Amino acid sequence: MSKNKPHQKALYFSILELLQRHLSLREIRERLNISKQHLNYYLRQMEKNETIRRRGRGIYEVKGLASNILQPQVKRECRGHAFIWSIKIPERFKINWEERLKRFNINYKLIRGTTPRVIVNNRKIWLGKKTITVYEPHSFYGITSAESKKFAVISLFEVLDTLCLRVQLNLKPYIFKPAKEHYGLIKNDLAVQCNRNKDKIYIRDDLEGEWLWIDDSLSLGELETGGKKALVRNIQVQRWFNDHKKHNFEVTPTLLMENINQVTENQLMFNKNFESHVEAIQTLSKEVKRLGDVVSKLKDSD
């Protein structure tokens, strides 16, 4: 699998996730909008990679968490999930969504009586006048939050391409942003410990709301970040924990305060010693001057 393109890697993870949920091959094809031949190709590759095991005709078993999938290209160290995407509709378009959906015989449901909602590749999509909103139900894995988000964006583009094909519109280039995004550090030491003790942690503030939590939602030992700066926060938290781990978690607030106090004491001692040295130098200077005066008087008396 070393030559897989990014979108293929994301598709492998999607297939694996659906197999873990015991969906049939037909249901997987429908949800991912791929052909039977296409799916069979991926299944053969996953068998070769010993990620899945065939148990019967059309029946596959996922081997453990299949942590070796796509290794070493993609590691399951961070899970991006709960994505809600907001896609801006170009100003040149004034789209009557209901009329267009009826024209192409696409099933839809009106939300609050005004906004059409369609299902594309198992994603719920709200079709507004100025924006399209896509709710992503899947998780995307990577070494960092940035990499997991990259796979989520690739998946988003595939969904938008399918939507545009069905309604016969070209909305490219896609102008989008996440309205919501969550990232979880998998097998985080603190999260594993909290999960073992059945403890939960929630951290929030008035600026971003709830932005960090541990609740063992998928038994992955995750420390999760959310809020307006979820992507940045995840990287910052990851670096913070890695830095502490590098120092064996010995650099504590107590250690820092003790060292600061010691430095302060040393500085005070240095200042006191310096003042003593200054006094000694001043005394020596006076004695040298006095001795000079005595010598001068002796010379005059001669």
Structural domain includes residue 71: no
Q: Which residues pair with 88 in a beta bridge?
A: 131, 175
Residue at which a domain ends, from 199, 224, 246: 246
Residue 216 has a pLDDT of 80
Same domain? 109 vs 56:
no
Q: Strand ranges (DSSP E) for 28-93?
A: 52-56, 59-62, 78-88
Same domain? 124 vs 210:
yes
Residues 6+ apart with CB under 8 A from 75: 141, 142, 143
CB atoms within 10 A of CB 140: 26
Same domain? 235 vs 88:
yes
Residue 75 has a pLDDT of 61
Structural domain includes residue 285: yes
Same domain? 102 vs 119:
yes
Cα–Cα distance for residue pair 263/261, rounded to 1 Å? 5
- Look at the block and give the residue holding tokens 């120092």: 247
Residues of the chain with pLDDT under 70: 1-10, 63-75, 275, 278, 280, 287, 293-295, 297-302
Same domain? 239 vs 259:
no
Same domain? 32 vs 90:
no
Chain centre distance of CA 167: 33
Residue 66 has a pLDDT of 46
Residue 102 has a pLDDT of 95
Structural domain includes residue 23: yes
Residue 299 has a pLDDT of 63
Structural domain includes residue 73: no
Q: How many structural domains are present in the chain?
A: 3
Answer yes or no: are the C-beta atoms of 9 and 70 closer than 8 Å.
Answer: yes
Structural domain includes residue 33: yes
Cα–Cα distance for residue pair 12/275, rounded to 1 Å? 73
Structural domain includes residue 42: yes
Residues 6+ apart with CB under 8 A from 223: 184, 185, 188, 190, 191, 212, 214, 237, 241
Residue 8 has a pLDDT of 63
Q: Are strands 78-88 and 140-142 parallel, antiparallel or unpaired?
A: antiparallel
- Which residue range(s) make up the domain with 193? 78-246
Structural domain includes residue 70: no
Structural domain includes residue 1: no
pTM: 0.60
